[in-house]
Structure formats: C-alpha cells, structure tokens
Amino acid sequence: MAGPFDDELDQTLTIDEYIDKVEAEELEADLVLGGDEGKECTYAMGYMKRQAIFSCVTCTPDGNAGVCTACSLSCHDGHEIVELWTKRRFLCDCGNSKFGEFSCKLFANKDVENAQNSYNHNFKGLYCTCNRPYPDPDVDEQVEMIQCCICENWFHEEHLGLHSPDEIPRDEEGEPLYEDFICKSCSAACSFLMLYPQTIWAKGEQHDAAANEATSSTSKGKNVLEDVSSAEESRKLEKDHGLYSSPNSNNLIGGSELGSAGKEVVIGESSKVIDSNQCTKNATPSGTCLLGVDVAVVCPVSEIKPFFLSKNWRESLCRCETCVDMYNQRCIGYLLDKEDSIVEYEKTATQKREEKLQQREGDEVNFFNKLGHVEKMEILSGIADFKDEFRSFVENFDSSKPITSDDVLQIFENLRKKRQRLQ
C-alpha cells in the first residue's frame, strides 16, 4: 500500500528535519504561485506581469504551449506536467488551437493563439545550453540552475560560460549575492550595462578588493577577457602594485585585456565612453541621459560573459527618452518595471502567504466557535488525547533516529485503543 511515508523509508529524517522540509516545500510552492490559489484560469487577467506557468507534455509534447496553475490542476490532472517556475507576460494557452480537440474546463473561450507568448525548450522539459531535463535522470546529484532574467531560460553553473563557478557572486553560505543574472547570449543585448558604474554589478567574496575600489568599471573588464593567461598575469601585477583600480591603465582600456575584442565598451572615470573603436565617434551626449552618451550608437560587444547584477540594480537604469527607446527596441522595457523582478514577485507572494496563514487560523477559530458545546468538548478532548499520545511518543523516542511509518501507525493504534476503552 502506498503511504505518505513510503518515499522516506530509505532516508533518515528526524522529526525536526521532516517538519523543516515540509515547511520549506510549502514556502517554495507559495513563492512560485505568488498567491494564485489555482482556482480560476488566469486568461481573463490578460498578459500578467509574472505568474507560475506549467507545460503539459501529454497534451503538447512539442513544447509550444503553457498553462496557468488552475488549468494545470483542473484540466491536466494526471497528465505529465513540467513546472516552469514563473514566466513574464504569458497568457494561458489551455484549450486553444495548440491543444487540438481538448478544451479548457475553466475558460474555454480563448483566442486560437496568444501571439505575445514566447516559448523555449523549457516547455519541452529541457533546460540550459546542454538541453537536459531537470531533474536529470543521468546525473546522480542534481545541481540547482540559475534563471536568466532576460530569456528566462535556466542554466547549470558549469554551463554559464565562466572560467569557474567560483566567479558566481555568493556569500560564505553559498547564498547568491546577485539579484539578477543575465546569460551569455542575452548579455550581448544588454552590453549597454557596461556603461554603468560599478555599483550595478554584484560582487562575490573574491571580488571584494575590486568592489572597495569601485571608481570605474575596469574590474568588469576582467569579465570580458579573451586572452585569459596574459590578462590574469597583468591583473595580478596590477593588484600587487596597487594599480588595479586605475581607469587610465593601458592594460585596462584597449590594452592587453581588451585588445583582441577591439569593440569592447569601457567606461572611464568621467562616466563617458572610452572606446578604441570608431563606432562611437558620432555619439552626441544628451544632457538628460544618466550615461551622457547616445546608447543607440554604442557598438554591440562581440564576445562577452554573463552578468551578475547587484541588489536594486534596476533602479539605477536611465529612464531618458533615448534609453527607453533603446530598451523597447531590444524588447527589454520590462526591466524598468519594478514588479517584473522575481524579488518583487516573491515579496508580494510572501505577503499573500502571511495573509493566507492568518486567514486559515481565523477560519479554524470561526469554525470552532460555531460548534455546539458537546461537539466543542469532543474536539478538545480529541486534541488533548492526541497531544498526550504524541508527547509520550516524542519523550520516549530517540530524536536522532528516523521515524518510520510503523511508529506513526502505532500512535494512531494507541489512540484507537484508548477510545475503545472509553466507550
């Protein structure tokens, strides 16, 4: 017989670990769902800023459709579902032309297609540049993936295009110190970010020295290295000689570090573009732009690394007309919308979760207060019996040992016997 503890039989879990695990799973689910109770299809709400999206591999194996939480539960119950975490500006496809004869039980009257939806291989249950499923059946230990805030694809640490996963800004506990990640392919469209001051880049432990001397974006330059060995050497030299933060160092601008790329955009002390390439010659600094350059004529960077952005970096983005036009042209205008960020989404989700937990408590009290005296007494004595039984179980149990399903069944067996004796 399949029981709730069957999965855990092989694992050893103490009571505390089990409770922590359940609570963590509940919290994680609530953070993804963002307060969506999964009762109504979200189609009627239009392209939402962000919501949890699922793909049904049973109905749409080609990965060309996504459905909302409610549809995943009501319309695709028992189907093979891929959880896609959250996606921005996505309209539920459930029952539209992608689903053939299948119709949505919750909101049948949808357009044949949602033209603004975007799909990628995640909808087929595949992730990263390596095109693997998650969890990956061929891998013993699943590594967590990082989501790009632009394309919303997920990537393995070792497939980010870094020299080492140590370059990912993290604290001692391994918690991320960055708010957003931009993958290697999307960082090309966001190369203008290199015109911004140091403060927008997330710094890990190993970057402390550079972060403290954040007078220019030169340390970012090391993330666009082409010739690693020689650059590594010169960086060491600079560090040793205290030259590291000097924006005028030849090694940092158009020198050995950037030489082969040629097109790299580097910013100097004066927050103006210093570029070895002629393509910014026509730049006309605008008085209102934070960057003081015409971003439209700044050349794209040919070969760059993924970006790790610091906390609140989106607030630093210039909102001048030219920059806004540029964001829109590159289809990344959402970066200016605070509510687009995962951080903001999770903040709202946490609030809604707290309201829900309070409401749940209130509902229980209300339910209880409506009962008659005899029913109240029965419930209270039932709870007291359970508490006694559970307490004696816990007191006599070695908490370093795992609880098995037999132990739990024994608690209920004891309670049943007690009731029988009372009757």
Binding residues vs Zn ion (CB under 5 A): 41, 56, 58-59, 68, 71, 75-76, 79, 92, 94, 104, 106, 128, 130, 148, 150-151, 156, 159, 183, 186, 289, 318, 320, 323
Minimum Å distance from CB 271 to Zn ion? 12
Q: 24 or 108, CB closer to Zn ion?
A: 108
Minimum Å distance from CB 404 to Zn ion? 36
Residue holding tokens 């040793």? 240
Q: 252 or 295, CB closer to Zn ion?
A: 295
Q: 130 or 394, CB closer to Zn ion?
A: 130
Give, in order, the Cα–Cα distances in Å from 193 to each of 44, 188, 260, 311, 344: 36, 10, 21, 15, 21
Q: From CA 277, how far away is CA 263, in angstroms rounded?
A: 6
Classify strands 265-267 and 273-275 as parallel, antiparallel or unpaired: antiparallel
Minimum Å distance from CB 61 to Zn ion? 10
Of 60, 10, 51, 5, nearest to 31 (Cα)?
51
Minimum Å distance from CB 252 to Zn ion? 24
Q: From CA 298, how far away is CA 283, in angstroms rounded?
A: 8
Classify strands 307-309 and 180-182 as parallel, antiparallel or unpaired: antiparallel
Minimum Å distance from CB 142 to Zn ion? 12
Q: 231 or 326, CB closer to Zn ion?
A: 326
Q: From CA 278, how far away is CA 289, in angstroms rounded?
A: 21
Q: 139 or 384, CB closer to Zn ion?
A: 139
**In this structure, what token pair is assigned to residue 382?**
């039932």
Environment class of 362 (CB within 10 Å of its CB; exposed 0-12, middle 13-18, buried 19+):
exposed
Minimum Å distance from CB 106 to Zn ion? 5
Q: 65 or 252, CB closer to Zn ion?
A: 65
Q: From CA 264, how far away is CA 276, in angstroms rounded?
A: 8
Minimum Å distance from CB 344 to Zn ion? 19
Q: 126 or 408, CB closer to Zn ion?
A: 126
Q: From CA 308, how far away is CA 149, in angstroms rounded?
A: 10
Q: From CA 210, how far away is CA 213, in angstroms rounded?
A: 5
